[in-house]
Amino acid sequence: MSKRDYYEVLGLSKGASADEIKKAYRTKVKELHPDRNSDNPNAEAQFKEVGEAYDVLKDGDKKAAYDRYGHSAFEGGMGGGGRGPGGMGGQGDFGSAFSDIFDDLFGNMGGGRAGGQNRAQRGNDLRYNLRVTLEDAYAGLAKTITVPTSVGCGSCNGTGAEGGSEPQTCPTCSGMGKVRAQQGFFTVERTCPTCNGMGQTIKDPCHTCHGAGRVEKEKSLSVNIPAGVETGTRIRLAGEGEAGMRGGPTGDLYIFIEVRDHELFEREGNHLFCRVPVSMTTAAMGGDIEVPTIDGGRSRVKIPAGSQSGRQMRLRAKGMPALRGGGPGDMFIEMAVETPVNLTTRQKELLREFEELSVENNPQSSTFFKSVKSFWESMKG
Ligand SMILES: [Zn+2]
Ligand SMILES: [Zn+2]
């Protein structure tokens, strides 16, 4: 059987948004629930297919690769064909969103995450949300974060057994961690109730960790946030997630960056935009203004005579650094010409005089009025 297109599997057309993909996925999973499909022999295979499609399409990078290269993007096993209900890894960020939704819908059946024979279970990945200022995103920063997590138990070296005693193979599931039950056409695997999926029982559990092999603890970590991060940047700290159960491998920690809005600068990719007020006289006659830059400094900008409101000027390389190579972005100044207010009698006099002189020689208005005149004439005809 040739592999079906992932979008087709989810009933979507190419280029569907992340929201559409998630929604379609949830709908499909509900449709294919074993309880509703005891008369559909294909449901289980379809269910797996849907899970595999979602695993790829929910991930921005994988989706991009898939959109470009199709299934061949993942030849070599990355697509994870075997991640059906039974063998769901729940490991790394690859399977976890899938498992989360799966847990929502299937309750304890999702306990399949425990994953059969691997009695040493991998620890969960952790997510840490970090809000930074735009200045920090510009310069990068070193930060110490405190993460509530679990670490390997020192008393039993992570085995969960007290005083050098050995864990025993679970008699209920013979070490599989799962028991099977028939439900319609499906064989449903459930987590073994005796050992909670561990595949082993401990006669004499460690007094410190009560047999889990790990204990809750707050962990302090120094992290380097590189210059150029933006909202949505994800930094992976391998092996800094939760400790595994009974000596299993440690999960990873993902730092999700959110960059706060800035009072002065708006960011678009690596470019920065800044609206700068310019007095009417400077705009008319030209002059220098001083503008702030994201590094905390200032730049002098020459305003050409006769500049209009909305005119943009570019300061090369004064934007944000590029996170992954390449030069920095630029900074764009947008002029906002200010109309003077609270005029004195003398100022009004001068402006009236100015007005009388400028009726004939203001290039902007004369072009405009010429157009208006020809517009009116064309309407008459
Ligand atoms: Zn212990
Ligand atoms: Zn068992």
Of all ligands present, the nearest one to the C-alpha of 150 is: 1
Please check the confidence at residue 174 and state whether its pLDDT lies above 60.
Answer: yes
Cα distances (Å, whole numbers) of residue 251 to 91, 195, 288, 358: 8, 22, 56, 73
pLDDT class of 143 with cuts at 50, 70, 90 = very high
Most trustworthy range by pLDDT among 64-78, 88-102, 106-120, 192-206: 192-206
Ligand 2 centre distance from Cα of residue 196 (Å):
6
Q: How far is the centre of ligand 1, averaged over its atoms, from the C-alpha of 163 (Å)?
A: 9
* pLDDT band per the 50, 70, 90 thresholds, residue 113: very low
State residue 77's pLDDT score. Answer: 36
d(CA 291, ligand 2 centre) in Å: 68
Contact 244, 273 (CB under 8 A): no
DSSP string, 176-199: -SEEEEEETTEEEEEE-TTTTTSS
Window from 73-77, 170-174, 317-321 with minimum mean pLDDT: 73-77
Q: What percentage of the chain exceeds 70 in pLDDT?
A: 85
pLDDT of 256-305, one tens digit each? 999 999 999 999 999 999 999 999 999 999 999 999 999 999 999 999 99
Ligand 2 centroid vs 103 CA: distance in angstroms?
Answer: 20
pLDDT of residue 70: 78
List the single range of 42-51, 127-136, 297-306, 337-346 with lowest mean pLDDT. 42-51
Confidence of residue 2 (pLDDT cuts 50, 70, 90): low
Identify the DSSP state of 151: E
What is the predicted pLDDT for the residue at 212? 84
Residues that place a CB less than 5 A from ion ligand 1: 153, 155-156, 206, 208-209
Q: Which residues pair with 68 in a beta bridge?
A: none
Q: What is the pLDDT of residues 208-248, one digit of tens each?
A: 988 888 899 898 999 999 999 999 999 999 999 988 888 88
The pLDDT value given to residue 20: 87
Query: What is the predicted pLDDT for the residue at 234?
Result: 93
pLDDT at 265: 97
**Chain centroid, CA 134 distance in Å:** 17
How remote is the CA of residue 205 from the centroid of ligand 1, in Å? 8
- Average pLDDT score over residue span 157-175: 85
Distance 173 CA to ligand 2 centre (A): 4
Distance 208 CA to ligand 1 centre (A): 5
**Could you tell me the distance, in angstroms and rounded to a whole number, from the CA of residue 204 to the centre of ligand 1?**
11
Ligand with smallest separation from the Cα of 204: 1
Ligand nearest to the CA of 177: 2
**255 CA to centre of ligand 2 in angstroms:** 35
Average pLDDT over every residue of 128-155:
93
CA-CA distances (angstroms) from residue 4 to 1, 11, 50, 146, 322? 9, 11, 10, 45, 38
Per-residue pLDDT band at 117 (split at 50, 70, 90): very low
User: Which residue would you say has higher pLDDT here, 190 or 319?
Assistant: 319
The pTM of this model reads 0.57
Extract the tokens encoding 358: 């400028």
How high does pLDDT run on average in the chain?
82
Q: Could you tell me the distance, in angstroms and rounded to a whole number, from the CA of residue 180 to the centre of ligand 2?
A: 12
Supply φ then ψ for residue 58, to 5 degrees: -80, -15
